[in-house]
Homo-oligomer: A and B are copies of this chain.
C-alpha cells in the first residue's frame, strides 16, 4: 500500500492540484497532449510529478491563449517558446484590432439608427436616384454617355433596376466587410472584390469597361481615384480610409489583370 504522498496521484487529485478538472485531463489524454504516467489494472489514470510539471506548462500556455495543437508543438520542440509566443501575440493583436474596427462599425450603425437614417429600413434602396448624377455624368463622360446610360437604365425595368441596385449594395457591403476585417489591398479577398467590381462595371453600357478597345486599365484606376476624391462615393465605403482601400485594390487589380 502506497502512501498518498508517494509516486503518483489519481486524476481528481492532480486536477485539484493544478486547478483544473478531471474531464480536461481525460481530454488531454484523448488528444495526446498529456498521458497519465501509469494506468491501474482497473483502467484508472495516475499522474506523477513529471505529468504535473507538464500539465502546469500546458495550463500556463493555455491561459496565454494558445490552442492545444500549438501547445503540443511548443512542448515538443521546447526550444522556440519565445518564437511561438511572438507569433501568438501578433495574432492576438490582429484580433484586438479587428474588434476595435467592429466596435467602431457598430457605433456608427447605432448613431445612424438613432438619427433615423435607419440602415435597416425596408426601402433602403429607394433612396437611390439614378438621375441625381445626371449633370456629373454628362460633364465627365459627355452628353451621349448620359443619354445612353439613362436609356439602358429605363430599359431594365423595375425588377432589373432592383437587381442592379442590389448587386451594387452587396458590393459595397463586401468592400466594407473586407476593409473592416483588415484585409490588405493586394490580398486575395480584396482582389476578388476588385474583379467583381470590374465585372459589375461592364454591366453599365457607355463606360469604357463595357466598351472593348478602350483603355480599361486607366479607367478603372481613375475610378478608384475618384472614390477617394469624391466624398459622396467615399461615404459608401466607410469614409476616406475605406475609399483608399478600394482605390488601392482596384489599382493593383488593374495593374495585374487589365492590359498593358
Given contacts A19-B171, A85-B110, A92-B102, contact A120 B57 (CB under 8 A): yes
Closest chain B residue to A52, Cβ basis? B166
Interface residues of A toward B: which range?
35 or more
Given contacts A19-B170, A110-B89, A166-B17, contact A63 B177 (CB under 8 A): yes
Whole-angstrom distance between the alpha carbons of A59 and B172 in the complex?
13
Q: A103–B93 contact, CB under 8 A?
A: yes
Count of this chain's copies in the oligomeric assembly: 2
A258 within 8 A of B: no
Kindly specify which of A155-163, A217-225, A247-255 makes contact with the partner chain. A155-163
Query: Among the listed B81, B96, B113, which residue makes an inter-chain contact with A85, where contact means beta carbons less than 8 Å apart?
Result: B113
Q: B120–A166 contact, CB under 8 A?
A: no
Q: A106–B120 contact, CB under 8 A?
A: no
Q: A170–B63 contact, CB under 8 A?
A: no
Whole-angstrom distance between the alpha carbons of A46 and B95 in the complex?
37
Per-residue 0/1 for A150-182: is the Cβ within 8 Å of any B Cβ (1 yes, 0 no)? 000000010110110011011101101100100
A1 within 8 A of B: no
A119 within 8 A of B: yes
A109 within 8 A of B: yes
Per-residue 0/1 for A103-115: is the Cβ within 8 Å of any B Cβ (1 yes, 0 no)? 1011101100110
Given contacts A82-B114, A106-B65, contact A96 B99 (CB under 8 A): yes
> Please, could you name 5 A-B residue pairs with CB atoms under 8 Å apart, sorted by A?
A5-B159, A17-B166, A56-B166, A81-B113, A92-B106
